[in-house]
Amino acid sequence: MIDVNEFKQDVQRFLKIDYAVNLDIAKTYQKYNAISKAVMIRIIDNWNKTCEVYSKNKQSHYFSAEFLMGRALGNNLMNLGIYEDIKKALDDMNIDINDVEEIEEDAGIGNGGLGRLAACSMDSAATKNLPVTGYGIRYSYGLFKQSFKDGFQVESADNWLKYGDPWSIRCDEDIVTVDFSDYSVKAVPYDTPIIGYGTKNINKLRLFKAEPINEFDFNAFNNQKYKKSVEEKNNADNISRVLYPNDSTDTGKILRLRQQYFFTCAALKDIIKKFKKYHGSDFKLFSKYNAIQLNDTHPVSAIPEFIRILTNEEGIDFEDAWNVTVNTFSYTNHTIMREALEEWDTKLYKNLLPEVYSIIKKIDSRLIKKLQSAQYGYDKINSMRIIYNGKIKMAYLAIYGSHNTNGVAEIHTSILKNRELKDWNELYSKRFLNITNGIAPRRWIVLCNRELSSFITELLKSDSWITNLPLLKNLEKYADDEQVLNRFLNIKRIKKVQLSQYIKIHENIDINPDSIFDIQAKRLHEYKRQLLNAFAILDLYYRIKENPEINIVPRTFIFGAKAAPGYVRAKAIIKYINEIAKLINNDSSINGKIKVVFIQNYGVSYGEKLFPAADISEQISTAGKEASGTGNMKLMLNGSPTIGTYDGANVEIAQEAGMENNFIFGARFEELEKIKKSYDSKEYYNTVPGLKRVVNTLIDGTFDDDDTGIFEDLYNSLLESTKTDKADNYFVLKDFEDYRNTQCRVNKAYKDRMSWARKCWINIANSGKFSSDRSIKEYADEIWHIHPHKW
């Protein structure tokens, strides 16, 4: 319970203290900050108590380069169980809580599924009372803010801190120093509370900001060397300035390496300091009290850095340090894509981090001896070495230096064990396991779809499903209840109307809430095949033009995606889709049968509007390329059948909810493996009806790429092989016809409203497996060996 009158007084006090304004003239962002601080002062005691309890027991430390947290206020109020109380208090103060929530910026410390998984994991750990602390970087700016100009993606700074950050606390007492070969910086921790649902426990996300040892060189300034006077500050600021800086040159690569080492070094020093405080200096006990999870390869420098600290600073023998390290660390692999199996030029490590590099060389030598003792041949040893041919293979370092490596979906883990990391699995078969990803039900249905959440609670006569998602299975008994299904359809339309209004405000585009909302919202990458979706849309448009009486349910295709600034081909796909949208949306002759919308600046908050409103969930990555996906789970939970390949978590979604309640298409991984060497994309280009017509729009003048040549490059990537890539590397042309036919099945199925509602309902009822509460418990039980602690 909360004292509403005290809360209102605190809000007004913070407005006066921070901004010298009264409530009646305060701006919305000022109200947001004051409200957030009024909540913060009510949780500090619980937060401190939780930290005290956790410190005495074994803890897990989650290292991640990104945490895609989303907005904090609404989620925190919900998890604290005071949302309605605060809403009423704000109503009394003539403050619209929706306006206040909307002014909050998404925290710019994450980008894609990897970062959102980290955020969901933190939410679930707190909710399950598990002692887990997140470690990362407090970026001053996020990836970027996306807008479109003439259909092209335009990037601008994501200044998520422009209104301040009322949810974090600077902890100067825990500042540590991080040393590079050329200069040193301070790592300043900022702590953010992670509030669990229905518990007094409050976990911690600790993010480090880089600051200079010396803020300002007065003598240089006095000698009128103005740039030099702030050079040290600028060097430090750059480390934590931007999430994923462009690394197309060595300068960018060095900055990325600095970032990775900066936060892992700082985090390790922080953990070691606490270990010594509470448990003494016997590092043989370290893994008894600490587990460290590496979320992909970005934090893998922690392994040699930990050994460096133990051997160089704590005086521990290398072999003893190695054993402590292996027993402490574990590694999550998120994808088989090249960028996840990260490699670094040895010269960069050697020049920037010479002591760490020397440790990696020792680890590599140790591995060679182990492989030789196991009678491995010369070629096989070279293929498994951590340092080889001028490269450091970070995934190999992670596997060798940890006691567990996990994939994030059943099929993904199988591919890792049987193909990508087959040699490692044969060497360390007991180290490999699967933990299928999950999502936090609190944010992804309770917060973003209150209407559906309330209905589920009404039907189940309890809200315990919110922390025990498999209880949704009990909804199956209503799968043929027309009254229930009609109420579900009414809720779905409410969410579609809400999204339509939001898109009108933010994109200035009118969309029809009675059309099928076909949504593909995720990172823009060739393997995710937004291009396949675009080709199918254009083909449908041409078929409507040829046959205006074609019997289809009106459909709105909604895309949301950012392309990395240096990823030219991904940016070309965005431009191409926007060109298609311009053609279709301005053609009145098709009577609004289809519409295409590419929303700008897709992120967590936009996703909270998109997922509850979706009718169909596009999960069409090339089979074998998508590790898991979590967007597919969010859409499933909100009642959207999947149209997708048999890949990633789609496999398990189809297993849980039934193939008949989803729309699986396309070549499977095993087939693609067999044909990839002999695959000829031109065969499909020349023989599949309608395919050549849409592909040729890339070069025949139908669409304008402003003479950049990016459309021609897309065209060539589909039909012409190069030294490094085969034509149509992601099998867009091969899967086109099956995808088109499956979309026709979607159209037909949607017309039978009760049958369609039943598919949606069965998906909701069988989404229980995909809770991050389940996945975090598996990490806790099978990898970290930690236990819940309450007070």
Mean pLDDT of the region 179-203: 98
* Residue 215: both structure tokens together: 């803020």
Mean pLDDT of the region 528-547: 98
Question: What are the start-end ranges of the E strands in 523-666?
Answer: 555-560, 594-599, 616-619, 642-645, 663-665
Hunting for tokens 């027993």 — which residue is that? Answer: 327
At 743-758, the pLDDT tens digits run 999 999 999 999 999 9
> What is the reported pLDDT for 340?
58
Mean pLDDT of the region 639-650: 97
> Helix 354-373 vs helix 318-328: angle between axes, to the nearest 10 degrees?
90
Mean pLDDT of the region 576-596: 97
Contacts for 369-376: CB closer than 8 Å, 24+ residues apart:
371/427, 374/427
Check if the beta carbon of residue 781 is closer than 8 Å to that of residue 646: no
When the pLDDT of each residue in the chain is averaged and rounded to a whole number, the result is 96
Q: What's the residue count for the chain?
A: 791
Distance CA 468, CA 129 (A): 14
Check if the beta carbon of residue 430 is closer than 8 Å to that of residue 66: no
Question: Percentages helix, strand, coil for the chain, rounded to the nearest 5?
Answer: 55, 15, 30
> What is the reported pLDDT for 113?
87
Residue 64 neighbours by CB under 8 Å, 6+ apart:
114, 115, 118, 134, 135, 136, 295, 296, 298, 299
> What is the reported pLDDT for 76?
97
- 375 DSSP β-pair partners: none
- Map out the domains of the chain with their CATH numbers: 4-437 (3.40.50.2000), 457-673+733-771 (3.40.50.2000)
SS3 label, residue 182: coil
Given a cut of 90, is residue 449 above it in pLDDT? Answer: yes
Residue 246 neighbours by CB under 8 Å, 6+ apart:
252, 565, 566
Given a cut of 90, is residue 660 above it in pLDDT? Answer: yes
Count of C-beta atoms within a 10 Å radius of residue 525: 23
pTM equals: 0.96
Hunting for tokens 């992909």 — which residue is that? Answer: 296
Share of the chain above pLDDT 70, in %: 99
Check if the beta carbon of residue 138 is closer than 8 Å to that of residue 66: no
Check if the beta carbon of residue 92 is closer than 8 Å to that of residue 9: no
- 532: nearest Cα among 543, 546, 520, 517: 520
Distance CA 714, CA 728 (A): 10
Please give the torsion angle defined by the CA atoms of residues 238, 241, 242 and 247, in that order, rounded to the nearest 10 degrees. Answer: 10
CA atoms within 13 A on the CB side of 324: 25
At 19-61, the pLDDT tens digits run 999 999 999 999 999 999 999 999 999 999 999 999 999 999 9
Distance CA 272, CA 275 (A): 5
Mean pLDDT of the region 520-527: 96
Mean pLDDT of the region 89-109: 95
Check if the beta carbon of residue 194 is closer than 8 Å to that of residue 123: yes
> What is the reported pLDDT for 757?
98
> What is the reported pLDDT for 338?
60
> What is the reported pLDDT for 250?
95
Hunting for tokens 């991640």 — which residue is that? Answer: 64
Rg (CA), the chain: 27
At 245-288, the pLDDT tens digits run 988 899 999 999 999 999 999 999 999 999 999 999 999 999 99
Residue 460 — pLDDT band, cuts 50, 70, 90?
A: very high
Given a cut of 60, is residue 339 above it in pLDDT? Answer: no
At 141-184, the pLDDT tens digits run 999 999 999 999 999 999 999 999 999 999 999 999 999 999 99
Active-site residue set: 334, 522-523, 528, 630, 634
Check if the beta carbon of residue 358 is closer than 8 Å to that of residue 399: no
Mean pLDDT of the region 601-628: 97
C-alpha distance from residue 270 to each of 49, 171, 181, 257, 460 (Å): 19, 12, 21, 20, 45
Given a cut of 80, is residue 1 above it in pLDDT? Answer: no
Given a cut of 90, is residue 498 above it in pLDDT? Answer: yes
Mean pLDDT of the region 491-502: 98
Q: What is the largest CA-CA distance in the chain?
A: 82
Count of C-beta atoms within a 10 Å radius of residue 372: 12
